[in-house]
Structure 1
Amino acid sequence: MNINKLIRIFFLLIISSIEIGQSLVPVERHGHSAVLVDKKLYFFGGESVFGKLKNSIHLDQILYIDLSKPFNTANPPFEEVINAPMPFGSSYATAFLSPQKKNIIYLFGGIMWDVNANVDKFKSILYSYNVETNEWIPPATTGIAPEKRREINGVINNETGKFYAFSGLDTNAQNVVTTFNDMNILDINSLTWSKGSITNAPLPRVDYTATLLSNGIIVFIGGRETNNLVSVDINQLPLYDTKVDRWSTMTARGVTLENRNSHSAILTSDEKIIVFGGNKDDIATPVLNPLAVLNTKVVPYEWSVPTPAPPLPLTTNLHSATLVENYMFINFGQVHPKNDSLLQKPFFYILDVRNFTWVEKFEPEQLSQSPNGTTTVNTSSTNSPGLGVTTPDNGKQIGIIIGAVGISVGVIAVAGLLGYKYYKKQKYTRAIPTAGSPTI
Structure 2
Amino acid sequence: MGSDNWNWHSDFDYDRWVKLPVPGPHPLARYKHGAVVVDEKLYIVGGSRNGRYLSDVQALDLRNLSWSTVKLKSQSESDNVKDGRSLEVFPATSGHSMVKWGNKLLLLGGHSKDTRETVTVHFIDLESLVSGVMDATGKIPVARGGQSVTLVGSKIIMFGGEDKHRRLLNDVNVLDLETMTWNVAETKQTPAPRFDHTAAVHVDRYLQIYGGCSHSTFFNDLHVLDLEMLEWSQPQIQGNLVPPRAGHGGVCIDDKWFIVGGGDNKSGALETLVLDMSTLVLSVLTNVERKDPLASEGLTISSALVDGEQFLVAFGGYNGNYNNEVYVMKPKPKDLKHPKIFKSSAAAAAAASVTAAYALAKSESLDFPAIESSKPKVDLSVEVSALKEEKKALESSIAWVKAEKSTVKTKLDEYHETHADLLKELHSVQGQLAAEKSRCSSLEAQISDLQTRLSSMESLEQKVQALRSQKSAPEHDTSAKRQSSGGAWRWMAP
Aligned equivalent of 2:121, options 123, 126, 129: 126
Summarize the Cα distance change of 1:246–1:274 in structure 2 as closer, same or farther, 3 Å threshold. same
- Given that 1:262 and 1:278 are in contact with CA atoms closer than 8 Å, whether structure 2 keeps it comes out as yes
Q: In 1, distance between residues paired with 2:49 and 2:288?
A: 31
In the alignment, which residue of structure 2 is the partner of 1:79? 68
CA deviation digits over 1:149-205, x for unaligned, max 9? 001121001xx301001111122xxxx422223100001111111111231010111
1:247 matched residue in structure 2: 232
Where structure 1 has 5 or more consecutive residues not aligned to the other structure, the ranges are 1-20, 50-55, 72-76, 114-119, 357-440
Tell me whether 1:322 sits opposite 2:302 in the alignment: yes
Distance 1:345 1:222 in 2: 22
Letter matched to residue 244 of structure 1:
M
**Shift, 1:313, TM fit:** 5.8
Return the alpha-carbon distance in structure 1 between the equivalents of residues 187 and 288 of structure 2.
Answer: 43
Shift in CA distance, 194/277, structure 1 to aligned 2, threshold 3 Å: same
- Superposition TM-score, scaled by structure 1 size: 0.62
Matches of 1:279 and 1:310 in 2, distance apart?
Answer: 14
Structure 1: distance between partners of 2:108 and 2:115 = 16
**Separation of aligned partners in 1, 2:167 and 2:204:** 33
1:306 corresponds to which of 285, 290, 313: 285
1:333-373 deviation digits (Å, cap 9, x = unpaired): 112xx2xxxx24413211111189xxxxxxxxxxxxxxxxx
For residue 274 of structure 2, give the secondary structure of its aligned residue in structure 1: strand
Q: In percent, how many aligned pairs have the same letter? A: 22
Q: Paired residue for 1:290, among 240, 257, 271?
A: 271
Distance 1:143 1:310 in 2: 47
Would the aligned equivalents of 2:89 and 2:132 in 1 still touch at CA under 8 Å?
A: no
**Which structure dedicates a bigger proportion of its chain to helix?**
2
CA contact (8 A) 1:185 1:196 kept: yes
- Match in the other structure for 2:132: 137
Hey, what's the Cα distance between the residues in 1 that align with 2:134 and 2:260?
Answer: 33
Matches of 1:223 and 1:22, distance apart in 2: 35
1:197 aligns with 2:186: yes
TM-score w.r.t. length of structure 2: 0.56
| AA partner of residue 283 (structure 2) | S
Aligned AA (1:24): P
In the alignment, is the contact (CA less than 8 A) between 1:125 and 1:147 conserved in 2?
no
Contact 1:278 / 1:290 at 8 angstroms: preserved in 2? no
Distance in 2 of aligned mates of 1:83 and 1:181: 34
Give the AA of the match of 2:109: G
Structure-to-structure mapping, 1:259-270, within 5 angstroms: 259-269=244-254
Pair member with larger Rg? 2
Matches within 5 A, 1:345-356: 345-354=323-332
Contact kept, 8 Å, 1:112 with 1:122, in 2: the verdict is no
Q: SS at 1:27's partner residue?
A: coil
In structure 1, how many angstroms separate the alpha carbons of the residues matched to 2:59 and 2:89? 14
Structure 2 CA distance, aligned partners of 1:83 and 1:303? 41
Q: Give the Å deviation of 1:107.
A: 0.8
Count of aligned positions: 293
Point out where structure 2 has 5 or more consecutive residues left out of the alignment.
Answer: 1-21, 74-87, 335-494
Which residue does 2:99 correspond to in 1?
96
Alpha-carbon displacement from aligned partner over 1:386-430 (angstroms, at most 9, x marks no partner): xxxxxxxxxxxxxxxxxxxxxxxxxxxxxxxxxxxxxxxxxxxxx
Deviation at 1:309, TM superposition (A): 9.4
Q: How does 1:176-255 map to 2 (within 5 A)?
A: 176-225=165-214, 228-232=215-219, 234=220, 236-255=221-240
CA-CA distance at 1:37 after TM superposition? 2.2
Indicate the residue corresponding to 2:143 in structure 1: 148
CA distance in 2, matches of 1:294, 1:48: 31
Aligned AA (2:213): R
Give CA-to-partner distance per residue, 1:120-144, whole Å, 9 cap, x none: 4355522122122222222221210
* Distance (Å, rounded) in 1 between the aligned partners of 2:246 and 2:207: 18
On the 8 A contact 1:23/1:79 being kept in 2, the answer is no
Evaluate the alpha carbon distance shift between residue 181 and residue 223 of structure 1 in structure 2; reply closer, same or farther with a 3 A threshold. same
Structure 2 CA distance, aligned partners of 1:307 and 1:194? 40
Instruction: Decide whether the 8 Å contact of 1:45 with 1:62 is kept in 2.
Output: yes
**Superimposed CA distance per residue, residues 89-110 of structure 1 (whole angstroms, 9 cap, x where no aligned partner):** 0110001111xxx221211100
> Would the aligned equivalents of 1:61 and 1:86 in 2 still touch at CA under 8 Å?
no
